[in-house]
Amino acid sequence: MTDPVPSGVNADDVKKIARLSRLHVEPADLEPIAEDLNGILKWIEQLAEVDVDGVAPMTSAVDMAAPLRSDEITDGGVRDQVLANAPKADDGFYVVPRSVE
């Protein structure tokens, strides 16, 4: 006969999760964290009971159009300002040390 699956999270589970996450948790804090996690799991169970059939997915609670800009290819118009930061530049390009002889 198999043991039933335990419901919820206990202090040993929190200790294992903390070790796997490489987090230090004081022994006195294990049980309160387990209670917090069990509360979160209960909220998730409640959400699973909500009937969402026919509800369209939303990306925002406010119905608004995203501001879009035209998709134009430009050079940015600031080449000289960018190249001013380069240690060495030649004819509008960065000069870098040769990596292959």
The answer to whether 9 touches 39, Cβ cutoff 8 Å, is no
Tell whether 81 is covered by a domain. no
Tell whether 25 is covered by a domain. yes
Residue 26 reports pLDDT greater than 90:
yes
Tell whether 33 is covered by a domain. yes
Position with higher pLDDT, 66 vs 53: 53
Domain that holds residue 30: 11-48
Say if strands 89-90 and 93-94 run parallel, antiparallel, or are unpaired: antiparallel
Position with higher pLDDT, 64 vs 95: 95
| CA atoms of 13 and 34, how far apart (whole Å) | 8
User: Cβ contacts of residue 14 below 8 Å, gap of 6+?
Assistant: 25, 30, 33, 34, 37
Q: How many domains does the chain have?
A: 1
Position with higher pLDDT, 82 vs 34: 34
Please tell me whether residue 52 adopts helix, strand or coil conformation. coil
Position with higher pLDDT, 72 vs 40: 40
Tell whether 28 is covered by a domain. yes
Tell whether 57 is covered by a domain. no
| Mean pLDDT confidence for 65-86 | 85
Residue 75 reports pLDDT greater than 80:
no
Looking at every residue in the chain, the average pLDDT score rounds to 87
Tell whether 21 is covered by a domain. yes
